[in-house]
Amino acid sequence: MGTEGSTVLSPAWRGLPRFDSSAVSNSASCALPPRFEAVRTARRFTGTTLSHWGVQHIFDSVALVVSELVTNSLRYAIPTGRVDGGYEPPVRLHLMRWTTRLVCAVRDPSEEGPLAGEAAPGDEHGRGLLLVESFSDAWGWHPLAGALHGKVVWALFRLPRE
């Protein structure tokens, strides 16, 4: 299902249709605190939002991807020793819905791109981005520009035409 998302994507996001923000049918955003309990908050926010938009049938796949992206941001993007300060907000989840696609995007303060890991047998880490690739239709990341610092890691889900 997925594509090679572990590289910085061009503004056209490597052949995906441009995302015209004025064409977004719905969007929602949630600031997340730099604590691992935020993963549960992100899943609940995703469930409520998808239900409100009438696309709850894709909740399981989207929630798994959101969990992985938020966990990665909390684990790798928050500077050591910076638990409650320094960034406002440290991690933010964005959900955007068009007629035929949904994008979940997680913004964090790190400018380093995500790396798909090689998990050793019995290792609990290193499989998250492989899950993102398997459960989404496309994924990627890009650095933020201008006054914003950090990056956005996103995953796209195609929705059936109504």
Element (H, E) at 133: helix 128-135
The predicted pLDDT at position 3 comes to: 42
pLDDT 10s digits, 109-146: 998 888 776 655 555 555 688 899 999 999 999 999 88
User: Would the pLDDT of 31 be above 80?
Assistant: yes
Q: Please give the distance of CA 88 from its chain centroid, rounded to a whole number.
A: 18
First CA to last CA distance, the chain: 21
**CA–CA distances in Å: residue 74 to residues 1, 14, 18, 55, 67:** 26, 27, 28, 27, 11
Q: Residue 1 in contact with residue 134, Cβ under 8 Å?
A: yes
Higher pLDDT, 77 or 86: 77
Residue 27 φ/ψ, nearest 5 degrees: -150, 150
Higher pLDDT, 114 or 87: 114
User: Would the pLDDT of 83 be above 70?
Assistant: no
Q: Please, what sign has the CA dihedral across residues 18, 21, 22, 26?
A: positive
Q: What is the mean pLDDT of residues 45-53?
A: 97
Q: Which amino acid is at 121?
A: P
How many residues can be counted in the chain? 162
Confidence of residue 77 (pLDDT cuts 50, 70, 90): confident
Q: What is the mean pLDDT of residues 59-86?
A: 82
3-state SS class at 71 = helix
pTM of the model: 0.79
- By percentage, how much of the chain surpasses pLDDT 70? 70
Confidence of residue 18 (pLDDT cuts 50, 70, 90): low
- By percentage, how much of the chain surpasses pLDDT 90? 54
